[in-house]
Amino acid sequence: MEGESMIRIQEGDLLECDLQILAHQVNCRGSFGAGLAGQMAEKWPALRASYQRFVKDHSPEELLGGIYVWEGLGVTVVNLFGQDEPGPNTDVSALYTSIQALNDYMALEGFETVGLPWGIGCGIGGADWKEVRKMVESQFSGTERHLVWVKRD
């Protein structure tokens, strides 16, 4: 992939993108009904049910900074535990750790491409986009994995 950027921006709907992995931020309390998570729950109800079972079986302290992988209906979704509770409280340090875990998962399982929503953790989560973007992109720079920022058109 010499000369090809490993980070790019794509216009569209993340849920309709043909990417190996779709990733998004979630909270540690089982709320999965607003923002992108709400859209995913509408499209893939089994994802919400599986996520809620997983959260119920783990403490927030165990979850924060980790990931939960769901595979179903031809899609792989990586849930990034970047906030303890729903609302404007993204924990950028936890999001960083979950992005590291995503990167490790991709390397271990042989995935090359992940799509993330443009502004992850900064809408409902309230984080600073410049800080989050720089942090996420630093995790993919120098790797063989592709990061695709998906901007709603």
Structure tokens at 115: 């799509």
User: Is 80 among the domain residues?
Assistant: yes
User: Is 1 among the domain residues?
Assistant: no
Domain range holding 55? Answer: 7-151
Q: How far is CA 106 from CA 22, 50, 55, 109, 132, in A?
A: 12, 21, 22, 5, 20
User: Is 13 among the domain residues?
Assistant: yes
- Please tell me the pTM assigned to this model: 0.94
User: Is 37 among the domain residues?
Assistant: yes
User: Is 47 among the domain residues?
Assistant: yes
User: Is 68 among the domain residues?
Assistant: yes
Domain total in the chain: 1
Residue 67 and residue 95: Cα distance in Å, rounded?
10
| CATH code of the domain covering residue 71 | 3.40.220.10
110 - beta bridge partners? none
Could you give the dihedral angle defined by the CA atoms of residues 92, 137, 133 and 108, in that order, rounded to the nearest 10 degrees? -50
User: Is 2 among the domain residues?
Assistant: no
User: Is 87 among the domain residues?
Assistant: yes
Type and span of the H or E element at 15? none
| pLDDT tens, N- to C-terminus, the chain (153 residues) | 444 569 999 999 999 999 999 999 999 999 998 999 999 999 999 999 999 999 999 999 999 999 999 999 899 999 999 999 999 999 999 999 999 999 999 999 999 999 999 999 999 999 999 999 999 999 998 888 999 999 987
Could you give the dihedral angle defined by the CA atoms of residues 8, 77, 71 and 35, in that order, rounded to the nearest 10 degrees? -140
